[in-house]
Amino acid sequence: MLGNVRRRLSAAHGELQDLAAWHSLAPLATNYLPWTEGALRPGALVAILNDICLSKRELIVECGSGISTIFIARLLKEREKGRLVSLEHDCRWADFVNNQIAKEGLSERAQVVLAVLEDCSLSNFSSAWYQEDSIRAAVKPRFIDMLIVDGPPAFEEGQEFSRYPALPLLKDLLSDDCIVVVDDIDRPAEREILKRWSDETAFAFHLDFSKSLAFGKRRAPTRRRSSGKGELGQKAAESE
């Protein structure tokens, strides 16, 4: 009961944060983009952009493309540093976003990779996920500094756990100081996924319900060096 109250209060606080976030996004909002129902909240997008700047993220991989893809690409162009690879299963949407990237002269900094969904069975979850070979080919030779998990679609019955494979399949491609950002944590399935990841990997997660985001960092360093130099300003904690 107390947890539900906290989440409702966080959601209300998040709406206020979203209003304030528009002011932060204004310098990157150069023209109109369709803000779809599945897009990141403005406050969540600002949190991601802040971390890219403060932690000097070099290679960013995004599961699910959209308005966030364009905003991140605009920021990377402004910084004259970094690259974004966005995975998309819908060919028409991938074409739309790639066309927008080209139109704005952002192709040097971002690309949408068409990755079809194929059967994937991991740790008692059976669902379709992006074709792994196309992902690995797109990110070589660097390690990933930020992984944003906002796809594949997980809102329909039977698809609730479709995002689970992201961390188990890509963990060997993540830099030591990589941050894993997960959207839609207001849904029970996403919180269950985070618990599984905390149990099964070296990552621990902090949940921010005001942004509907979770932020994950490694509990302990590994031998692999980061491709960036920044530190996460927010201490990761165990998911609840």
Burial zone of 231 (CB within 10 Å; 0-12 exposed, 13-18 middle, 19+ buried) = exposed
- Torsion 114-66-127-142 (CA) sign: positive
pTM beyond 0.85: the answer is no
Tens digit of each residue's pLDDT (9 = 90 or more) over 24-45: 655 666 666 665 665 677 888 9
In terms of Cα–Cα distance, which of 104, 32, 33 is closest to 74? 104
Tens digit of each residue's pLDDT (9 = 90 or more) over 77-87: 999 999 999 99
With a cut of 70, say whether residue 115 has pLDDT above it.
yes
CATH of the domain at 152: 3.40.50.150
Is residue 237 one of the residues assigned to a domain?
no
Domain containing residue 55 = 2-29+40-218
Burial zone of 130 (CB within 10 Å; 0-12 exposed, 13-18 middle, 19+ buried) = buried
Is residue 233 one of the residues assigned to a domain?
no
Band of pLDDT at residue 124, cut at 50, 70 and 90:
low
Structural domain count, the chain: 1
Burial zone of 36 (CB within 10 Å; 0-12 exposed, 13-18 middle, 19+ buried) = exposed
Could you tell me the two tokens for 187?
């849904």
With a cut of 80, say whether residue 176 has pLDDT above it.
yes
Q: Tell me the C-alpha distance between 16 and 6, whole Å.
A: 16
Is residue 232 one of the residues assigned to a domain?
no
Task: Name the residue type at position 238.
Answer: E
Q: Kind and range of the H or E element at 130?
A: strand 125-130
Is residue 231 one of the residues assigned to a domain?
no
With a cut of 70, say whether residue 230 has pLDDT above it.
no
With a cut of 90, say whether residue 13 has pLDDT above it.
no
